[in-house]
């Protein structure tokens, strides 16, 4: 199941990049949830959250700092990023069972990230699940909180939307299609 999650995450990142750079990707007024355009810029623009882009280690550290300050601890059994994608993707899974109030901790984490320069984009909130997109430079971060009676899953998955990383995500998808 973990392999399927990575295929889905990589596919989402590729679709996000491929669908937002041109004219057919959205409503036109939804710039906040868009990723970097296909122009090849690696410094980010207004669509990607603007400013200089952090690297994967910085993104991971920012998530860890915000989440732990909000009352989460990282679940060591969370999904590991495949070695070939480590410069383009980060994953941080909360041990939501140890948090006093996972929903409050999730909201506090998102607030801390936006206070640290991440720009909030698209979000959905329905049926006990909240997913928000945050952008910084060429990075897009999916912050998700899924809760129902008896369980909670809180994850933060970041992807770098540069052309180089897009190529790595596509290669990973192709490799996984064949397995």
Q: Which residues pair with 134 in a beta bridge?
A: 120, 141
Bridge partners for 153 per DSSP: 146
Once rounded to an integer, what is the mean pLDDT over residues 52-80? Answer: 94
Q: What is the pTM of this model?
A: 0.72
What's the pLDDT tens digit per position in 88-130? 999 999 998 899 899 999 999 999 999 999 999 989 999 889 9
Q: Choose between 107 and 11: higher pLDDT.
A: 107
Whole-number Å distance between alpha carbons of 142 and 144: 6
CA-nearest of 8, 50, 58 to 31 is 50
Q: What is the mean pLDDT of the chain?
A: 77
Q: Give the pLDDT confidence score for residue 51 in this predicted structure.
A: 54
Angle at 140 between CA 139 and CA 143, to 5 degrees: 135
- The helix or strand, by DSSP H or E, that contains position 121, with its residue range, turns out to be strand 119-126
Percent share of the chain, pLDDT over 90: 56
User: Locate tokens 């410094």: which residue?
Assistant: 43
Instruction: For residue 127, count other CB atoms closer than 10 A to its CB.
Output: 7
Q: List the strands of the sheet with 139-148, edge to edge.
A: 89-93, 151-160, 139-148, 129-136, 119-126
Tokens of 160: 């770098």
pLDDT of residue 92: 97
Indicate whether 54 pLDDT > 80.
yes
């Amino acid at each position: 199941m973990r392999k399927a999650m990575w295929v889905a995450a990589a596919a989402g990142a590729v679709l996000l990049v491929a669908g937002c750079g041109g004219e057919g990707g959205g409503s036109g007024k939804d710039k906040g949830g868009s990723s970097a355009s296909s122009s090849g810029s690696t410094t980010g623009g207004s669509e990607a959250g603007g400013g200089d882009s952090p690297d994967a280690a910085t993104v991971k550290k920012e998530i860890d700092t915000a989440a732990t300050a909000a009352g989460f601890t990282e679940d060591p059994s969370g999904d590991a990023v495949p070695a070939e994608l480590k410069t383009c993707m980060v994953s941080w899974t909360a041990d939501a069972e140890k948090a006093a109030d996972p929903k409050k901790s999730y909201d506090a984490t998102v607030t801390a990230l936006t206070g640290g320069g991440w720009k909030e984009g698209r979000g959905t909130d329905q049926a006990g699940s909240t997913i928000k997109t945050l952008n910084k430079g060429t990075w897009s971060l999916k912050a998700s909180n899924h809760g129902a009676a008896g369980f909670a899953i809180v994850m933060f998955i970041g992807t770098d939307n540069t052309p180089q990383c897009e190529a790595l995500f596509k290669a990973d998808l192709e490799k996984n299609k064949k397995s």
